[in-house]
A and B are shown apart, each in its own frame.
Chain A
Amino acid sequence: GNSVTQMEGPVTLSEEAFLTINCTYTATGYPSLFWYVQYPGEGLQLLLKATKADDKGSNKGFEATYRKETTSFHLEKGSVQVSDSAVYFCALEYGNKLVFGAGTILRVKS
């Protein structure tokens, strides 16, 4: 079936550190891939997406590349800020349905 596996958190970083949150997926065919962010007490916001292999999604300094060969969509940011503290969800789409990973809590210390 279709599933998403994310690295477990929480991930705790100092401000300006490099961030990587790993995401791998299992799917039939070639799904679209997404990263969503949930700030404390808020709903989900789309952070970035990629709809085909080798696509790179980017937004607000975050990037992720759709790697078909490794079935991965790792999230990266070169320099995190305290305001990036949130829960990050990797997701895939199949048949208009989203399948989410478990979420990774990111805590950034000043």
Chain B
Amino acid sequence: SAVISQKPSRDICQRGTSLTIQCQVDSQVTMMFWYRQQPGQSLTLIATANQGSEATYESGFVIDKFPISRPNLTFSTLTVSNMSPEDSSIYLCSVEDRLSGTARTFYGYTFGSGTRLTVV
């Protein structure tokens, strides 16, 4: 299955600043996903990132606040802009883990280890 490297693993940031989170996959994937997990809560999808096109944002999330880049099939970044304490969360990237080729075995969705962000 795919292996995802996500960094930083954690950060403490001042309000009003921005943080860029990186996600690297060890294989080429069509879609990458960014999720947010607020303290004690479940995961919510922020956006879907396809290579070569603008990310698609879910209701309640906007590009100005969470700009996403997807320069190639193995890498994506999520920026949390103009941060406030309400942005303190764990941010996770995810990919669809599917074996290409004749088998097209679907393994599920693999997640990075997450970035624990605290805004002070």
The contact of A44 among B31, B41, B106, B111, by CB within 8 Å, is B111
The answer to whether B112 and A43 have CB atoms under 8 Å apart is yes
* A44 to B97 Cα, complex, angstroms: 14
Which chain B residues (25-54) contact chain A, with CB distance < 8 Å? 31, 33, 35, 41-45, 48
The answer to whether A44 and B92 have CB atoms under 8 Å apart is yes
| A: number of interface residues (CB 8 Å) | 19
Q: Which of B6, B111, B114 is packed against the most chain A CB atoms within 10 Å?
A: B111
The answer to whether A43 and B42 have CB atoms under 8 Å apart is no
Q: Which A residues lie within 8 Å of B42 (CB)?
A: 89, 100-103
Closest B-chain residue to A48, C-beta based?
A: B108
A37 to chain B, nearest CB (A): 11
* A89 to B94 Cα, complex, angstroms: 15
16 CB-based A-B contacts, threshold 8 Å: A34-B108, A34-B109, A36-B111, A42-B113, A42-B114, A43-B111, A43-B113, A46-B108, A46-B109, A89-B42, A89-B43, A93-B109, A97-B33, A98-B45, A98-B109, A101-B42
Q: Is the interface of A mostly helix, strand, loop or mixed?
A: strand
Q: Which B residues lie within 8 Å of A98 (CB)?
A: 33, 35, 43, 45, 94, 109
Where the two chains meet, the residues of B that have a C-beta atom closer than 8 Å to any C-beta of A are 6, 31, 33, 35, 41-45, 48, 92, 94, 96, 106-114
B32 to chain A, nearest CB (A): 11
The list of the 7 closest CB pairs from A to B, nearest first, reads A43-B113, A44-B111, A43-B114, A100-B42, A46-B108, A100-B43, A49-B108
B61 to chain A, nearest CB (A): 13
The answer to whether A51 and B106 have CB atoms under 8 Å apart is yes
Q: Which B residues lie within 8 Å of A70 (CB)?
A: none
Q: Which A residues lie within 8 Å of B111 (CB)?
A: 36, 43-45
Q: Which B residues lie within 8 Å of A46 (CB)?
A: 107-110
